[in-house]
Structure 1
């Protein structure tokens, strides 16, 4: 499924300092985010149906990083998820991601709808100019099973085994669970 999405994106050639315009990059990032979210949701729904929350936790631990890695390799973007309260230490936000999610939280508090929380910008990074794109991940009802305030004891135990540094509990419906985060090197540095 991912390969088909990437093939249909009409990927842009970015040579030297000639950049595709930001609107096109934003559209491409939004499409990749949608593909990633759809694949994650389908994988998790199947895991929940087969093995319940404990089985889904195992699948999330192994398959979510693989889905992001596969899509990153096939698209040329760096694709992942992050959170102000990460479950996986590898998903700890960088300074840019932290600032964007703090802004998302403030916008949510002002009444903006979670599905409108998107940020896109060209920034200077250690790898040169980067296009950064983030889209909020709101906490849905199903998320509360593993991320809510009342996680079942057997799930808590499994979470502790898989994620010893877990911070991702105590969420309420509609809270900012985290964000999809994408970046693309624009000037050929760093690949």
Structure 2
């Protein structure tokens, strides 16, 4: 059999495997993948913050966060991303559908309602996506995402690394964005 004749078989096999995942399996995998991202990225950022402070952490994040996210996606055979309406990196800008979910969650927080731990949605293209809210729940997060004076050394470093940054001014308990794991 030639390589070309194997391609349709591999494609059908991949599609059938994706179709065979139940909602429960997608939730379990989405939860595990998002937890792995939070653990690895959060661990690296904590180490950077402890050893070099906010500016070193900012530089580490600007140079490594996307690569680390992509590495986890490859290891877990998923598509994973962090998104926000008030993104730091334009690559992490939420789509219209993601913005709607973030705004829904923000409205819930405004009403003092508890956010769901996740949402599983089927998109119009047939893909399923597991969404996990990212809430500011550690003081360390506010060192780079809190009230940062634009003329401070950190403010200048943020502007240099991310000229279109929108990711400051957060407080404890604010919704920062979400993790999206696509199947």
Q: For residue 11 of structure 2, what is the aligned residue in structure 1?
A: none
Given that 2:83 and 2:178 are in contact with CA atoms closer than 8 Å, whether structure 1 keeps it comes out as yes
Mapped pair 1:169 → 2:164: no
Mapped pair 1:28 → 2:29: yes
Q: Alpha carbons of 1:18 and 1:44: their partners in 2 closer, same or farther (altered >3 Å)?
A: closer
Map residues 41-80 of structure 1 onto 2, 5 A cutoff: 41-80=42-81
Map residues 4-153 of structure 1 onto 2, 5 A cutoff: 14-15=15-16, 18-114=19-115, 116-125=116-125, 129-140=126-137, 141-151=139-149, 153=152
Q: Deviations along 1:77-135, whole A, 9 cap, x unmatched?
A: 11110111000011110112111111111121222345x3421112223xxx1111111
Q: Unaligned regions of 5+ residues in structure 1, if any?
A: 1-12, 185-191
Q: How many Å separate the matches in 2 of 1:124 and 1:57? A: 36
Q: For residue 155 of structure 2, what is the aligned residue in structure 1?
A: 156
Q: How many Å separate the matches in 1 of 2:163 and 2:77? A: 31
Structure 2 length as normaliser, TM-score? 0.85
Q: Unaligned regions of 5+ residues in structure 2, if any?
A: 1-13
Given that 1:33 and 1:180 are in contact with CA atoms closer than 8 Å, whether structure 2 keeps it comes out as yes
1:63: how far off? 1.8
Higher strand residue share: 1
1:49: how far off? 1.4
Higher helix residue share: 2
Q: How many Å separate the matches in 1 of 2:35 and 2:17? A: 28
RMSD value over aligned CA atoms? 1.7
Aligned residues: 168
Q: How many Å separate the matches in 1 of 2:87 and 2:18? A: 35
